[in-house]
Amino acid sequence: MPELPDIVVYMEALEKRIVGQKITTIRVASPSLLRTVVPPLNTAEGKRVEKLRRIGKRICIGLEGDLWLVLHLMIAGRLHWRARGAKLARPRGLAAFDFEDASLLWTEAGSQKRASLYFIAGEENLRSLDPGGLEVFDASLEQFAATLTSANHTLKRALTDPRMFSGIGNAYSDEILFEARLSPLQLTQKMTPQQIQQLHAATRSILLLWIDRLRTETGAKFPEKVTAFHDQMAIHGKYKQPCPRCGQLIQRLRYAANEANYCPYCQTGGKLLADRSLSRLLREDWPKTPEALESYIDKRKIS
């Protein structure tokens, strides 16, 4: 899923291209995409784009008349800048926004079609779509700490909860926790002031680092290679690869449809976190350390 750094770079590219431009037509290919009926979507046609805004991971396109197109890309949604009237190819094509000199195409890989489009009238209705997460760049350490400890969740859950923190998802939470040297299963209400300070600093520094990297990578072009996996990432998507800090193998913790990547030496004091599916299978035989896991794997290979 595009997260805060990706959305920021998307918005900067869009601001250069569509602010001040009129939307001539909107083409919607996926009937499940549009989640509102009032006002009618066709009333956006002929309206000029006045501003852009980010709400969490949503891109909000402000039109004259206090109208808003709100794009939530979800996991597989991506935007593309193409020649005006470019074909919206199925099954990936969701919608196209035609401007006077180009078209913004919206695609989604996969079959689940989770992306959503809202057409909203008025600031009050726009604010109703805000999950309420804290904007970390606008928050003090005290505000960050208050939000973090408002409920007793694991750090992984807290960072990726849009009601707690705005714009952070699975990928950048891995990078943040690695930078802060904290376990993804550390409970928020059991953190020391020093750990909270480490997490606050890491959250800001990692997000700023990746905004700068993606800006540099994109340059004057439109961002076309938006992905949750980058070679420069320290641990996200790097399962069984060497940790860039200590050289030991990165491990993973699977849960629901996601996974957390972590270094058991840098983040969990040498402890191997229990993977839900494997630990349920192995029960008391679940290895407690990376060395024990490797030994268990070696024995299984021999047998």
Give the tens place of pLDDT for each residue, 120-134. 999 999 999 999 999
| Whole-number pLDDT of residue 258 | 78
Whether the pLDDT of residue 302 is over 50: the answer is no
For all residues of the chain together, what is the average pLDDT? 91
| Whole-number pLDDT of residue 60 | 98
| Whole-number pLDDT of residue 283 | 47
Count of helix runs (H) and strand runs (E) in the chain: 8, 10
Where is average pLDDT lowest: 48-62, 197-211, 277-291?
277-291
Residue ranges, comma separated, of all CATH 3.20.190.10 domains in the chain are 4-127
Where is average pLDDT lowest: 55-59, 220-224, 258-262?
258-262
End-to-end CA distance of the chain: 41
Whether the pLDDT of residue 16 is over 90: the answer is yes
| Whole-number pLDDT of residue 286 | 43
Question: What 3-state class would DSSP assign to 94?
Answer: strand
- Residue 246: count of CB within 10 angstroms of its CB: 11
Confidence of residue 196 (pLDDT cuts 50, 70, 90): very high
The length of the chain in residues reads 303
Give the rounded distance of the alpha carbon of 144 from its chain centre: 19
- Residue 178: count of CB within 10 angstroms of its CB: 26
Mean pLDDT for 229-235 is 96
Closest CA to 71 of 24, 145, 29, 10: 10
Confidence of residue 1 (pLDDT cuts 50, 70, 90): confident
The tens digit of pLDDT for each residue in 63-116 reads 999 999 999 999 999 999 999 999 998 889 999 999 999 999 999 988 788 999
Q: In this structure, which topology does domain 133-303 adopt according to CATH?
A: Helicase, Ruva Protein; domain 3 (1.10.8)
| Whole-number pLDDT of residue 19 | 98
| Whole-number pLDDT of residue 112 | 80
| Whole-number pLDDT of residue 77 | 95
| Whole-number pLDDT of residue 256 | 66
Residue ranges, comma separated, of all CATH 1.10.8.50 domains in the chain are 133-303
Q: Would you call the peptide bond into 91 cis, given omega within 30 degrees of 0 as the criterion?
A: yes
| Whole-number pLDDT of residue 297 | 41
Mean pLDDT for 160-171 is 96
Amino acid at 226: V
The tens digit of pLDDT for each residue in 254-295 reads 876 678 999 999 999 999 987 655 445 444 444 555 554 454
Q: In this structure, which topology does domain 4-127 adopt according to CATH?
A: N-terminal domain of MutM-like DNA repair proteins (3.20.190)
Tokens of 113: 């079609």
Whether the pLDDT of residue 37 is over 80: the answer is yes
| Whole-number pLDDT of residue 118 | 98
